[in-house]
Structure 1
């Protein structure tokens, strides 16, 4: 069995199409790093791309209580997984409260917004592969 070096990924460098590479990220440490940045103090939010390829993007987002992400839509299906705190996720027809450990998925091009009910961190995964219809 071939041994693979386990490289710690803090989010400072951006791996692109790392076929065969093992990338690990300490989400707790990265969330703390984001909360120490100027953007956190100014806007109550922070974000870092953990992984980016032609097919997918993974971002860690942190939000202070009461901070909002205004209505928008994604170019592909998304998943949102809360790793700390709680958020309210809204579409035009539904609202759901997500807490630590919960995950939701949403189809592409659905307008949505996010509000932090308390200090929160969540992983956002966006699939950029579109099906031909």
Structure 2
């Protein structure tokens, strides 16, 4: 279902990730570039995006203005930020605050959920839960 014909906001949205992933992998942009993303939901400045990547595909350096998470749904990837490299597999989640994210690279055909929150909302570097 294209983004034109589906709701991006509402009181409740449900997604079949396996169906979404299969649909995205069948799209021409995935065949051409090895990567495609689809915003599943947005509300205010909140975004939930599903991205599929072919093995070896990279997302270059980008700047994140707000906290985000990367959750690997299928496959595996490597992620570099602040001089550290993280290897993530299916079922793993990485949280990081604002800053530069470097070289997200799929080690195998992968699908990941990217959650981005609002700029500056409640995030303070070094803060811990319950603080």
- Pick the TM interval, shorter chain: 0.7 to 0.9
Instruction: Report the equivalent of 2:98.
Output: 108
Report how many aligned residue pairs link the two structures.
Answer: 121
Instruction: Report the equivalent of 2:47.
Output: 57
Counterpart CA distance in 1 for 2:102 and 2:83 is 10
2:8–2:39 contact (8 Å) kept in structure 1: no
Counterpart CA distance in 2 for 1:103 and 1:125 is 11
Q: 1:15 aligns with which of 8, 31, 34?
A: 8
1:11–1:49 contact (8 Å) kept in structure 2: no
Q: Alignment partner of 1:101: what SS?
A: coil
1:89 aligns with 2:82: no
1:14–1:49 contact (8 Å) kept in structure 2: no
Instruction: Report the equivalent of 1:4.
Output: none
Counterpart CA distance in 2 for 1:32 and 1:86 is 17
1:125 aligns with 2:115: yes
Instruction: Report the equivalent of 2:33.
Output: 43
Structure 1 residue ranges, 4+ long, deviating more than 2 angstroms after superposition: 109-113
Gaps of 5+ in 2: 125-131
CA-atom RMSD, angstroms? 1.7
**TM-score scaled by length of structure 1:** 0.84
Counterpart CA distance in 1 for 2:2 and 2:81 is 29
1:11–1:30 contact (8 Å) kept in structure 2: no
Alpha-carbon distance, 1:53 to partner: 1.8
